[in-house]
Structure 1
């Protein structure tokens, strides 16, 4: 199957959406599919307001139309609701080409946290964006319920996995000044609820890995916390292996891939009992969920690293990608819409290598 994936989120960003798409593409190719991607990488881009580390490509409409015509995909998947996603959606609707979409993040909650814009406004945009999609792929059953409540598209489950070869137990390489070490990895922004973790009175040391708009202000407010900044995916296992508990304070994430990465490295997790952690962690005894985050952190210290790793082994990218592909295949079987006519113009190669 020829699959074209459009995404506004790509390297050098380091986040769950990028990791999910990178591993999905890798597994699709391994399964014999022909996969190409359109990302912001080859285009002129500008910083996203309030998130300068995230760049968007607002002027790629003609290139996207041409790529869809030239590649003639069997399946078109629009992964994000940004400028590239909007351009692909616009053209697909124009030529009556079926497509699938995905819902990776609680976008309305993030917008409200940063700007105060009501949820109803953002959800109205999402309702419009996903209305023409054959299926909206989401990471957990809780998100399916939420989208149905807001009357958004046709949500179906596309679970996540973890790279168990990269995120694996190993020797701790970062000596701490005092034990235990509590670690949080992710975007340093208000919607991640980091201050709920940073303000806790915990014996030991607090580490934060990641970048974001609140990094400098939190550095000043919490001088006793060690902020490492953004790290590459290959560097992250060293931090997981060197900590004693992974703290996930977010209450708005749809999934929280970092929790599985931590457990893959044998690091127990402490989190709030909310959507996201509940779906990922379930009833496992290899993590602790509690409305009292300090209590969850201290209780997680008593969980064995072997137990955390064993739980992570239940999740694989191969099985998650098979589900992704099955949604596309089902869509194709039910579709009678024509492919776009091939352009006679010179082809533009936007293929992204697996080493990007």
Structure 2
């Protein structure tokens, strides 16, 4: 039974991929595999549960909704066998110090390519290039001083090995989906609640500029009877809404959805549209698949592997808006076949499968 101390710079109530992964891994680990304590940036909006250890934090000024924790180690964190950092910054430094002080193995997960988010700080090309170069150099320094790096997908592993030239062993451990939570349900009540009719093409998640959500509008512009539905929120929403007003397609913005609503949202959709080229795995695509909804997404980043082209959805080439529209229309036309394929792969993308794989890697570094 392995005792794990996990350190993350995303605080637990935030609905995003990194938080979901840590929370799900912790709950499943504590149920069957040992004990996992989580150190995270504290906030007055959230009361810590058992085995959660907040530290002082401040809002990150360039990325709304993210907090930066002081790189400190709470006295309440018990002894561990393995230290797991879910960030290279902030609390990632605390994780490294905790591991070195106790001579423990340090495992690090690579969730987000930091350089991709430099545009939140500046739009000047020369400054962007400098920030990207500096962030990649720092990531290389950090991950090369760990015992093992976990990547959620093969494309992310290739980025770490080929682009960042990480010399530490890199292993692929998909984040996994809670298939008890994400399963097909009757979407009619959701459609009725939000007054949605006809074929639904949608997306939910963070509305970030890097996700290119405007491409969904361009790809569906002029599609007869289709309604485009956006769940979630973020800094790009205002610009996206302005763009939607000019599009020849019915567009609805639902805002943040409670977790209890997400399965109904996915099940109500006919196609999940995902144009983001910067995903390290694309959890929302797998959540949609687990609910029986095919995905039309860009053939770039982790989505190149996450979407099984012709089986659980369709790809299109980056920048090819006509190709995106074709992928959506093919997924709509072949919905029933693709949906059945999506449901057939539920076990392979489950959190239980991911945690079993995680256990093997923890055992290997001890």
Q: Which has the higher contact order (CA 8 A, sep 6+)?
A: 1
What's 1:336 paired with?
Answer: none
- Measure the CA separation in 1 of the matches of 2:286 and 2:37: 27
Match of 1:225 among 223, 227, 251: 251
What's 2:75 paired with?
Answer: 66
What's 1:197 paired with?
Answer: 216
Aligned pairs for 1:1-40 (under 5 A) are: 1-40=2-41
Shift of 1:278: 2.0
Report the 3-state secondary structure (helix = DSSP H, G, I; strand = E; otherwise coil) of the residue aligned with 1:52: coil
Shift of 1:113: 6.7
- Measure the CA separation in 1 of the matches of 2:266 and 2:274: 13
What's 2:160 paired with?
Answer: 147
- Note if 1:210 corresponds to 2:225: no
- Measure the CA separation in 1 of the matches of 2:197 and 2:62: 35
Match of 1:297 among 328, 331, 341: 328
Shift of 1:221: 2.8
What's 2:83 paired with?
Answer: 76
Q: CA RMSD in A?
A: 2.0
- Measure the CA separation in 2 of the matches of 1:325 and 1:179: 45
Shift of 1:148: 0.8
- Note if 1:168 corresponds to 2:179: no
What's 2:48 paired with?
Answer: none
Aligned pairs for 1:312-351 (under 5 A) are: 312-332=346-366
Cα-to-partner distance string for 1:64-87 (whole Å, 9 max, x where unaligned):
16345xx12111111112312222
Cα-to-partner distance string for 1:30-69 (whole Å, 9 max, x where unaligned):
22301111111333332212322222223x52xx16345x
Shift of 1:14: 0.7
- Measure the CA separation in 2 of the matches of 1:209 and 1:86: 34
Cα-to-partner distance string for 1:158-214 (whole Å, 9 max, x where unaligned):
123212221111111223544211111111011111111122213311111112111
Where structure 2 has 5 or more consecutive residues not aligned to the other structure, the ranges are 43-53, 318-322
Match of 1:128 among 115, 128, 141: 141
- Measure the CA separation in 2 of the matches of 1:314 and 1:328: 20
Match of 1:257 among 272, 278, 283: 283
* Aligned 8 A contact 1:51 1:212 in 2: no
Match of 1:310 among 327, 344, 356: 344
TM-score between the two structures when normalised by the length of structure 1: 0.86
- Measure the CA separation in 2 of the matches of 1:53 and 1:12: 11
What's 2:199 paired with?
Answer: 180
- Measure the CA separation in 1 of the matches of 2:286 and 2:170: 23
Structure 1 pair 112/122, CA: closer, same or farther in 2 (3 Å)?
farther
Cα-to-partner distance string for 1:261-296 (whole Å, 9 max, x where unaligned):
101111111011123112212345221112211111
- Measure the CA separation in 2 of the matches of 1:321 and 1:87: 24
Where structure 1 has 5 or more consecutive residues not aligned to the other structure, the ranges are 333-356
- Measure the CA separation in 2 of the matches of 1:35 and 1:177: 42
TM-score between the two structures when normalised by the length of structure 2: 0.83
Cα-to-partner distance string for 1:136-174 (whole Å, 9 max, x where unaligned):
100112211111112123311112321222111111122
- Measure the CA separation in 1 of the matches of 2:326 and 2:118: 30
Structure 1 pair 12/196, CA: closer, same or farther in 2 (3 Å)?
same
Of 23-32 and 188-197, more deviation after overlay is shown by: 23-32
Match of 1:156 among 144, 148, 171: 171
How many residues in Structure 1 have an aligned counterpart in Structure 2? 327
* Aligned 8 A contact 1:284 1:311 in 2: no
